[in-house]
Structure 1
Amino acid sequence: MPDLLIPATVIGSWSFPGWYEKFVADVATAPEHFGPIDREEALRDAVRLAIDDQLRAGLERITDGEMGRVDFNLGFYDFLQGIEPLGTLRRLGAPAHDQRTKYRCVGPLSAPEGLGIVEEYHRLRALTDAPAKMPIPGAFTLAGCISGGELYPSRNAVTEALIPIVNAELKAAVAAGVDFVQLDEPSFACHPDDPDYFLDVIARTVEGINAYVSMHMCFGNYRARAVGWRSYRPLFPHIGRAKVNQLAMEFASREMAEVELLKELPETMHVAVGLVDVKNTWIEPPELVAERLRIVLKQVGPERVSVTPDCGFSQTARHIAVAKAKAMAEGVRIVRDSLSYR
């Protein structure tokens, strides 16, 4: 991590520009109308805008906005062999997690071409040398959309098949130059009933990864909806034994509930605290972000803290995402400046 005190950063995704949203939909509807150069040009332009939005907002560690991905992790299933889509169970009515595409195993799970993270990183680095992180969904979270069929009798069995795939992708990313990886495992926060297995999965997923490792645990954000009981209490104190450098957690949408749990983490564990609510269209004033950050600093020292939104901005309108990110960065600077004058 850089020496900058309390860096302001993002979780991963950024809001799609309106034109790019339409472009992606048009490609899905009529792929024959677009060649590979057309697609790469549009994707690169969208990444360029995501980078520009983040840096102009004052963020100090950025991502490529996940412009090449589909709804956080759905695009990764295109890289997996041994699965077939089951379709969507419900298309009408209020948006929710039961509208996500599900898959069934029809053969052993593999990803012979990788999961695309290295290509994303090269595209990002062709456009900026700003400090960056590369997020990737963890094995347990990826397993949530896959039925094991006759090959894998349980979600844990599917997870076991995915662990070496994710681990290999992380190693490939680090070999390409990535120094900060973020393992996205929101499903563990929503299914906290087997913590020892959870910690073992994380340890094996990040084994041999020579980089700073953050682990993001939110409560779901598909169509700006949560999916589980929004409490971290069942994960404590054992989550402090996770083989990662940082835990990224949401607090803003829960009005800073359970922030006191951070005291139970070991002093070597860093935290990325969500201080703006990506599900809310209201723009938090910088002073409120600063107030929330001061609450966090009563639990952990500033040298261990980064500030993020609660989750990715992919489900947030772009103009709102920009305003929230700017307010977040300004709130961080208010507190950082006050600390520097002590």
Structure 2
Amino acid sequence: MFYKQEIGSMKKPDYLISAYGKEEFHTLKKRALKETVELMESAGLDNIGIGGEMYRWEMYENPVDHLDGLVYYGRVRSFDNRYYKKASVVGKIKRKSSAYLEEFIDVQEIAKKDIKVPITGPYTLMDWSFNDYYPSRLELGLDFARAVREEIIELEKHWKGKGPLRVQIDEPAASTHPWEVSTFVEIFNETVKNLNNVKISSHICYSKDYRSLYPYILEMKTTQLALEFSNRDTINLGIDDDSRRGFRVIKDLMDMGENREIGIGVIDVHTDFIEPPELVRDRILYVAKFYDIEKIIINPDCGLRTRSREVAYKKLRSLVEGTKLAEKGLS
């Protein structure tokens, strides 16, 4: 009944972390990919994403390394005690090589379940870069969009599966500038313009209030929004509004016109707390009371790379078992 998907990242095995920056990283990453795909598939997911993003070190640096027109100035703090190298745009943005193709080809050889390709979105690339070249954020964002679209087109050419290629465009920056949502939507739509045989979804995390994205976000050309709800929810059992306060906002989004597929985050990725399957069940059943069941997708709030692999696996197992309980309750 419910489609269960992973959002993106998984913590890398220790042997791969210690090999970063060394030649052996390139010989070990496929081993890590295989192990992570097997872990996700054994958890019971229907879609294992790209296998935990084992080939990527950071969601910003990875694509930027494959673009012309940027230079790195140094590291900045992003979240908790994590840092990334922030680049400045000093020339026209152009794609010079593929950021994701090798990983995409390899995961197709390994995976037995569905896959999708998470890609850092152009608005986030624009927002997380200094701009020393373009006259406006919009013009910069549109060129990032064209580069990302070229990437998606190349991936589709190497797609060997049945049906359309699933691509998830990650836009964590979208919710940080609510006054600029119309610009975000224009950039996003430029990215997906004239794509063939591709199913687009978008993951937007870290929003203080998803309502601030409306009504403009209704114009986004995406079939699915994967959003986070559990990190603001209670851990009490129940399907009443108070127990499920983290998910109540979905009602408001519906009132503003939202009716697309919605990936509901039923697992909090910022804590080691293992959600009981009964809690996952109640989060799903609550949303199923008012949202079209056929358009509810089950996923964690975000990628699980901040958790240990053991904790991440337990959380994914709970997601799967809780989904089964919800399906039983609705049958």
Would you call these one fold, judging by a TM-score over 0.5?
yes
Q: For residue 126 of structure 1, what is the aligned residue in structure 2?
A: 109
Q: For residue 143 of structure 2, what is the aligned residue in structure 1?
A: 161
**Bigger mean CA deviation after superposition, 198-207 or 327-336:** 198-207
Corresponding residue to 1:106 among 66, 90, 109:
90
**Bigger mean CA deviation after superposition, 245-254 or 66-75:** 66-75
CA shift, 1:123, in A, is 0.7
AA aligned to 1:199 is V
CA shift, 1:176, in A, is 1.6
Q: For residue 335 of structure 1, what is the aligned residue in structure 2?
A: 326
Alignment partners' CA distance in 2, 1:55 and 1:140: 32
Alignment partners' CA distance in 2, 1:94 and 1:266: 35
Alignment partners' CA distance in 2, 1:190 and 1:311: 16
Deviations 1:92-125 (A, max 9, x none): x9615xx3221112322212223x2222210101
Deviations 1:153-194 (A, max 9, x none): 343332122111001111111222161110111111121212
AA aligned to 1:88 is R
Q: For residue 209 of structure 1, what is the aligned residue in structure 2?
A: 195
SS in 1 for 2:119: strand
Unaligned runs of 5+ in 2: 234-245
Contact residue 237 and residue 264 of structure 1 kept, 8 A = no
Contact residue 263 and residue 299 of structure 1 kept, 8 A = no
Unaligned runs of 5+ in 1: 220-228
Deviations 1:220-256 (A, max 9, x none): xxxxxxxxx6111111243233111000100000112
Answer yes or no: is 1:324 the counterpart of 2:315: yes
Contact residue 71 and residue 314 of structure 1 kept, 8 A = no
Q: For residue 238 of structure 2, what is the aligned residue in structure 1?
A: none
Alignment partners' CA distance in 2, 1:299 and 1:6: 15
SS in 1 for 2:200: strand
Q: For residue 182 of structure 1, what is the aligned residue in structure 2?
A: 168
Q: With the length of structure 1 as denominator, give the TM-score of the two structures.
A: 0.85
Alignment partners' CA distance in 2, 1:283 and 1:262: 28
CA shift, 1:142, in A, is 0.9
Answer yes or no: is 1:8 the counterpart of 2:4: yes
CA shift, 1:301, in A, is 1.5
CA RMSD between the two structures: 2.1
Contact residue 269 and residue 307 of structure 2 kept, 8 A = yes
Q: For residue 226 of structure 1, what is the aligned residue in structure 2?
A: none
Q: With the length of structure 2 as denominator, give the TM-score of the two structures.
A: 0.88
Answer yes or no: is 1:170 the counterpart of 2:126: no
AA aligned to 1:243 is K
Q: For residue 222 of structure 1, what is the aligned residue in structure 2?
A: none
Contact residue 111 and residue 165 of structure 1 kept, 8 A = yes
Answer yes or no: is 1:117 the counterpart of 2:100: yes
Contact residue 121 and residue 169 of structure 2 kept, 8 A = yes
Alignment partners' CA distance in 2, 1:194 and 1:101: 24
Answer yes or no: is 1:295 the counterpart of 2:290: no
CA shift, 1:277, in A, is 0.4
SS in 1 for 2:173: helix
How many residue pairs were aligned?
312
SS in 2 for 1:88: strand
CA gap 1:141/1:22 in 2 versus in 1, 3 angstroms: same
